[in-house]
Amino acid sequence: MEITTKELREKYLSYFKGKNHAIIQSASLIPDNDPTVLFTTAGMHPLVPYLLGQKHPQGNRLADVQKCVRTGDIDDVGDATHCTFFEMLGNWSLGDYFKKESISFSYEFLTEVLKIPSEKIAVTVFKGDEDCERDEYSANCWIEKGIKKDNVFYLPKENNWWGPAGITGPCGPDTEIFYIRNQEKCCDECSPACNCGRYVEIWNNVFMEFFKNEDKTYSPLKQKNVDTGMGLERTVAMLNGYESVYDIDVFKPIIDFIKSQSSFTDENEGVKAMRIIADHIRTATFMLGDEKGVTPGNVDQGYILRRLIRRAVRFSRVINMDFANLSKIAEMYIDEYSAYYPELKENHDKIINELNLEIDRFTKTLTQGLKEFEKLLYYIKDKRISGKAAFKLYDTYGFPIEMTQELAKDNGVVVDIEGFEKAFKEHQAISHAGAEQKFKGGLADNSVISSRLHTATHLLNATLKVVLNDNNIQQKGSNITSERLRFDFNFPRPLTKEELQEVEDRINEIIKEDVPVVCKEMPIEEARALGAIGVFANKYGEVVKTYTIGKYSMEMCGGPHANSTGELGKFKIIKEQSSSSGIRRIKAVITGCDNFKE
């Protein structure tokens, strides 16, 4: 049976709807208030607060298709299976059903809706260790359903435990579901843990009942949850018996188009380049078209986007394809996906314009870099480009190292990659030190007035969201002097007089209430799960300070702060202006601090 991505999405959602699951919207690709990861990497990611016990407005049975980006394996894209963007089908129980029902739903969906013969399914369950018992219960559920005993495998934590996403967080044993391909066992011990290709993973049901603490111990969660994830593209490829994920319906016309516009002699190189272009332009289209809109840049998400676009250009060069075709490919993706992701259609012009702009920028860089490369070639003596020279090409001319390597190969010279990496790391250490200096600088003044302005900034951040009724508002910059605070945030238009007045009034009300400002230290994941906002560049597991101002604000921050809002006196906005495209800037002061309470 041929099945398309559209059909699998629909079948999945309608099956779980029939089992009383609310169908929720895919969240943005940019995680909310999560400074430790750049992109949403799994369906459970936006649901962490609810897995930890917060009530979800749509109930305790949810299902969705979540857009995800994982760029850890970017260098593997080009083979038959890797993609940087993918859609994850998922269903969740937030303290509602557990193992038995979850297994029953999965079995029914696979065998009755997708009509996969039961004997073609293998499953793995948790083998058991000192943290959690052997999952005989799940194994029996599968066998009762009809899975052959020989196709149930018990595996240890490294295979059958999912999460936490970082060092601490919700996690638990899982049961993974595999399709058995028409291929003999590679050895007597052959199991889904083996990568011989006989078993293809299609679904992962995680029984999230633990919280992993910083000291590596596990505590039971308030509620037992189910978190499942099925990769849409991979499953469609498997159901259709395709060797490569790039043969599925969403990629096929793109690959055909690229083929018609390119020429290459080495089939392997050509196929790899076509897949890279198809993958990277799809990911770039979703990043540019996301509701939280990313644009190419030199840091964070913008940097990944830039890298993807530039790689697509580089590989277009490899197969002699005109770069102008890249935006045509983006157009094809917008058409394909807009029914599910209307943000792509809404952001159509932005996607195409930004993509073309970045291609232009890179083309200029390439022209300049090529000239420099020619010069370099003229001067080198021992057929070797030093790490320093390669780094200079990269740093000064934005010339990618891969490009230097390719050109070097064409010209029969080698590049000192180790030397390049060393120079790169040294440079990173210097910029990092610079960033830390800057951060310290922002908070360097620990005077009473700047502590109070700091607290006022938190109140402003929280109140803007309320008054403008926009939860996507985020701090884009903050600067405090002994006179005033300055706060930059994303918002598309100037604020009205009335809105500014309301912001001021609400903040002054909170000041009058004299709400205590409570500081607590906790792991960053816990802070985020509790809903703390903040733009900290911390790593998972790191302990952060959170400042809570009653029910009004909870923010991760280095401090210092006022002891209670009453200390702030009176809050006044002195200016509201544009800071850059899509970013507004507010300057505000506090007055009458010391005698306010009298």
Stretch that binds ligand SER, among 39-47, 296-304, 374-382, 444-452 (CB under 6 A): 39-47
- Distance in Å, CB of 143 to ligand SER, minimum: 23
229 binds ligand SER (CB under 6 A): yes
Stretch that binds ligand SER, among 222-230, 290-298, 348-356, 518-526 (CB under 6 A): 222-230
Candidates 291, 289, 283, 288; CA nearest to 308 is: 283
232 binds ligand SER (CB under 6 A): no
- Distance in Å, CB of 135 to ligand SER, minimum: 16
Amino acid at 382: D
- Distance in Å, CB of 229 to ligand SER, minimum: 2
- Distance in Å, CB of 201 to ligand SER, minimum: 9
- Distance in Å, CB of 228 to ligand SER, minimum: 5
90 vs 369 by CB, closer to ligand SER? 90
CA 290 vs. chain centroid, Å, equals 12
- Distance in Å, CB of 97 to ligand SER, minimum: 16
Angle between helices 387-397 and 348-379 (to 10 degrees): 140
Nearest residue to ligand SER by CB is 229
What are 385's two structure tokens?
A: 């480009």
Buried b (16+ CB within 10 A) or exposed e, 319-340: bebebebbbebbebbbebbeee
> Looking at 35, 46, 90, 289, which residue binds ligand SER (CB under 6 A)?
90
> Which pairing describes strands 121-126 and 384-385: parallel, antiparallel, or unpaired?
unpaired
43 vs 369 by CB, closer to ligand SER? 43
Collapsing DSSP to helix, strand or coil, 166 comes out as coil
What are 78's two structure tokens?
A: 């080009």
162 binds ligand SER (CB under 6 A): yes
> Which pairing describes strands 414-415 and 152-155: parallel, antiparallel, or unpaired?
unpaired
What are 111's two structure tokens?
A: 């065998």
Cα 100 to Cα 61, 91, 103, 105, 175: the distances in Å are: 15, 14, 5, 9, 12
Cα 565 to Cα 49, 172, 315, 593: the distances in Å are: 27, 41, 57, 10
Residue 414 to residue 376: CA distance in whole angstroms: 12
43 binds ligand SER (CB under 6 A): yes
Size of interface with ligand SER, in residues (CB under 6 A): 10
- Distance in Å, CB of 208 to ligand SER, minimum: 8
Residue 425 to residue 431: CA distance in whole angstroms: 10
- Distance in Å, CB of 176 to ligand SER, minimum: 9
227 vs 555 by CB, closer to ligand SER? 227
42 binds ligand SER (CB under 6 A): yes
Collapsing DSSP to helix, strand or coil, 401 comes out as helix
Task: Name beta bridge partners: 519.
Answer: 547
List, in order, residues 6 or more apart from 374 with CB less than 8 Å away: none
172 binds ligand SER (CB under 6 A): no
How many H-runs (helices) and E-runs (strands) does the chain carry? 18, 18
Residue 546 to residue 532: CA distance in whole angstroms: 7
206 vs 554 by CB, closer to ligand SER? 206
Stretch that binds ligand SER, among 41-49, 279-287, 487-495, 578-586 (CB under 6 A): 41-49
Residue 148 to residue 138: CA distance in whole angstroms: 14
94 binds ligand SER (CB under 6 A): no
List the 553-556 sheet strands across, edge first. Answer: 517-523, 543-549, 553-556
What are 463's two structure tokens?
A: 């109140």
153 binds ligand SER (CB under 6 A): no
204 binds ligand SER (CB under 6 A): yes
Residue 408: how many other CB atoms lie within 10 Å: 20
Residue 63 backbone dihedrals phi, psi, to 5 degrees: -145, 150
228 binds ligand SER (CB under 6 A): yes
292 in Cβ contact with 30 (< 8 Å): yes
> Looking at 87, 227, 358, 504, which residue binds ligand SER (CB under 6 A)?
227
42 vs 556 by CB, closer to ligand SER? 42
34 binds ligand SER (CB under 6 A): no
- Distance in Å, CB of 193 to ligand SER, minimum: 16
289 binds ligand SER (CB under 6 A): no
> Looking at 27, 38, 44, 318, which residue binds ligand SER (CB under 6 A)?
44
> Looking at 206, 237, 276, 403, which residue binds ligand SER (CB under 6 A)?
206
Residue 91 to residue 98: CA distance in whole angstroms: 12
Binding flags for ligand SER, 534-573, as an x/- string (CB under 6 A)? ----------------------------------------
206 vs 245 by CB, closer to ligand SER? 206
Stretch that binds ligand SER, among 191-199, 227-235, 311-319, 544-552 (CB under 6 A): 227-235
Which residues contact ligand SER by CB under 6 A? 42-44, 90, 162, 204, 206, 227-229
